[in-house]
Structure 1
Amino acid sequence: MVPNERTTFSDMTVRTSGRIGLGQGTALLVGAVLGPGMLVLPHLAASAAGPASMLAWAWLLALSVPVALTFAALGVRYPDAGGVASFVGLAFGRHASAVAGWWFYGAVPLGIVAGASVGGRYVEATLGVHGVLAACLILMAAFGANAAGLRTSGGLQIGLVALLVALLATAVIAAAPHIDPVNFTPFAPYGLAGVAGAAGVLMFAFVGWEAASHLSAEFADSRRGLVRATVVALAAITALYLGVSIVSLGVLGADMPGVPLTALLETGIGAVARPITGVVAVLLTFGAINTYIAGASRLGAALARDGALPGWFARGGAPGGTPYRSMGLLVVLSLPVLIWAVDLDLLMRATSACLAAVTAAGVAAAVRVLPAGRHRNTAVAGTGMSLVALAFCGVHLVVPAVLALVALGMLRLSARRPLPGARG
C-alpha cells in the first residue's frame, strides 16, 4: 500500500533489473496490498460488526476483483504511467490530478502514525515496552533512515511481505483446529450498520492494486504476465484475508484482544509465539513506514513542482536526490497526529477514507481512458463498487474533502504567484 522512489503515487513496486517473472510479479502485487494493518484489522472489524465482519471482508474482496483487473488493464495500455494521479490527470485534468495527489500525501501522516501505533501495540503486549514509546521510536527510526538516504530495497520489501504472509498463514493453520462455532453467535449484533462500519476501517487493507499499473513493462510477457500475476495475487489475498477473518473470529470471538495474531499463534503453538510476533511486528511496521515516507516525500516534491504545494518544497525531488523539505513537512504534519490522535480505529478510518478516494478516482479515470469493451465494462463495475465502498467511510470522508480543498487552494495560489523576473 505504500509508494517508493520509482513512482509518484501509492504503490509498493520496486526497481527491477531486466524482466520479472510470475513469482516476483505476484510478490510485488501482494506486497502492494498486504501491509502491517493486518496485525490489528481483524480486531477493529470485529469490534464494529461482530462475526458479521466476515461479510465486510467478503464484500471488499469482491470489490478487489474489478479494481485489480482495471489497474492491470491500465498497466498494459499505459506501461509507463506514473501513478493514479497520472491517470486522473489524463482523464480529468490538472486540478483533479492535484487532488488525487493530496489525498495520498495527506493520508501519509495518518497512515504512518497508525502503522507505528500497530507496531507499538504489539511491542507492549509481547515485549513489555510502552506502546507509545515504541511507536515514537519506530517513527524516529524511519524518518532518520530516509534522511540518511537508507531506503527499503526491493529484495527487503519482498522479504518483509514473505514474512507477513508466513505469519498470517501460520496463525491461521495453527489456530484453525481450535475454532468454536459458539463464537459466531450472535452473528450480527450491530446489524448492517455494523457491517458498513467494518468495511470502512477494512478499506485500509484493500488499497494498493494500482501497483499493477506500473508493472506491465517489467514482465517478459508484458501483456499476459501482468494479468496472470494479478489473478494469482487476488487468489492469495483472498485466501489470506478470509482465513484470518474466519479463524480469528472462530477462535477468539468478537471480543478478541487488540493483538489478535499473537493470541492466535499462542493458541496454536504456545507462549513462544509472544516474543516472536513482537519482533516481527517491529520489522513489518518499520519497513512499511520507511517505504511510505520515501515515496511520500518524493510525491510532495512533485506536488510542489506542479504547483500543488509551494515551490520551496520541490527541492531535492530529482532522481537521486533527497527531498528534505518535503520530508520535513511530513514530520510537521505527523507530530500533531501522534500527540492528539490516540485512537487507532479513528486513524485507520481516516486513512482508509483517503485511500478509498484514491482508488475510486483511479477506476473512474479508467472509464474515461480505456477503450470501449470488456476492460471499460470492468472499470465501470469497479467504479460503482468503489463508490459504495467509499460511502462506507461515512463521516470520515471529511478528511479527503478537506484535502481536496487544500489542493485546489494551493493551485489557485500558484496561479496567482508572479513568474520569476516579472514586474508588478
Structure 2
Amino acid sequence: MTLDETHNPDRISWVDGSEPGSDFPVQNLPLGIFSEGKGLRRPGVAIGDYILDLSAVADLLDEDWREDLSQPILNAWLSRGPDLHRALRERLSEILTDVRYRDAVEVCLIGQSEVRMHVPCLIGDYTDFYVGIHHATNVGRQFRPDNPLLPNYKYVPIGYHGRASSVRPSGEPVVRPSGQRKAPDADVPEYGPSRRLDYELELGIWIGRGNELGQPIPIGEAGDHIAGYCLLNDWSARDLQAWEYQPLGPFLAKNFLTSVSPWVVSADALAPFRSPMPPRPEGDPQPLSYLTDPVDRQSGALNIQLEVTLLTDKMREEGLSPHVLSQGSADAAMYWSAAQIVAHHSSNGCNLQPGDLIGTGTLSTESDQGLGSLLEISRGGKQPIQLASGETRSFLEDGDEITLRAWCERKGAVRIGLGECTGRVVSGGA
C-alpha cells in the first residue's frame, strides 16, 4: 500500500476532539453502523468523539455511492472493493478538514456517547483461525509439554468455522454458558454453568470483495479482499471445551458469544503501520508457494498495540482502576499474515462473501506481559492473579468486565485506534 494525502500527519480536522492522540483522528475514518434511540440503523464514520452521519451528508458524496451508504449494514459498500473505499476515504478527509464544509457538515455530527453501535455487517460466515503461535505453544504445552505444537501448525493456517449468529457488538452482556463438563477424577460428566470462563484477545478481519465458488484468491490479491479490521473477543468456556473438543474441535464452548468492536478500520488507515513479517526461526519450513508473496513478506505484519483490562464488581465499588492483564503487539504474535489467512481460506475454492468475519485466533506475545487469555496467564488455573481489591482470579466471575483496546503509533505517523471491545459477565439461566 502507498501513502497519500489522507495519511499526512499535518492534516488536522476542524472537528473538536479529533486532534492527534485521539483514537479517531482524520487519518483513521473507520466506518460503522449506529442508531439513535429507537431510530433506524445507518452508517457513519468516527471522527474524534463524534460520528458523521453519512446519510445526512449524502449530497456531498458521489451519487453512485449513496444507495450503499444509506443501508443499515455495510455489506454492499464493502463489496465495492479497495478503489472505491479509497475514494470515499479521500472525500471524507477533504470535507472534514476543509473549513468551507464546516457549516454544512457540523450539524450532521452526533456524539458517540449518544448512540448505540451495532455489528457493522450482516455476517454470513464467521471463521476463527489459530495463527497466534505463542498462544498455540502455551496452550499446547499444558497438554503436551514435550511437543506443544502439532506437526501441521507450521505448514497450514489452522482454523475452524464458528457461529455467525452469536457475534455481537462491544457492550453486549456475556451470559455465562452452561454445558457438559467432566472433572479429571470424575467417572461421568455433569451439566451446569461453566466454571472456567475465559476471554480471547484477537483481531477480526472483515471481508470486502468476495470470490466465486471454486475460484481461490491468489496470495498476491488477498489484501484487496480485506475491507478492514476490528477487535474480537472469542469468549471461551474452557471446562466445556476440554470435554467436547475431541475429535472435531470447539463447539458449545465457543459459540455462545463472540464480541467485536463496532468500527471497520480500513486497510488504508493501517498502511503507515505495516511492517515485515517476522523471520521464521531456523529450521521452520517456509510457506508453500500458494502462501508465499514477496510483498506480503515485506509488509504483511500489522504493528497494532494490544491491551486487555479486567474490572470486577468489587473494584468498581471501591473506585479502583482496571487491572491490566495484557499488553503486546499483533506483529509479534501472528505466525501467519492476514493475507495468508484469506488465501488459505479460499485455497480449496471456498467462496468468501462481503461481510464475512475472520478471527485471527488468540494473540499472545512470547513474554508473559502479552498473554492473550486467562488460560495462559493463570497457567490453567494453577497461578491465580492477585488484584488490588484483594481478590484473585484464575477465570472470570460474574460481574467481571473485560475490555480489549488497540492502537497504532510510530514516528512520522498520527496515532490511530481501533476503539474498544467490552463485555461484562452475567449469571446464566441454568
TM-score range, shorter chain: under 0.3
Greater Rg over alpha carbons, structure = 2
Higher helix fraction: Structure 1 or Structure 2?
1
Higher relative contact order (CA 8 A, sep 6+): 1
Higher strand fraction: Structure 1 or Structure 2?
2
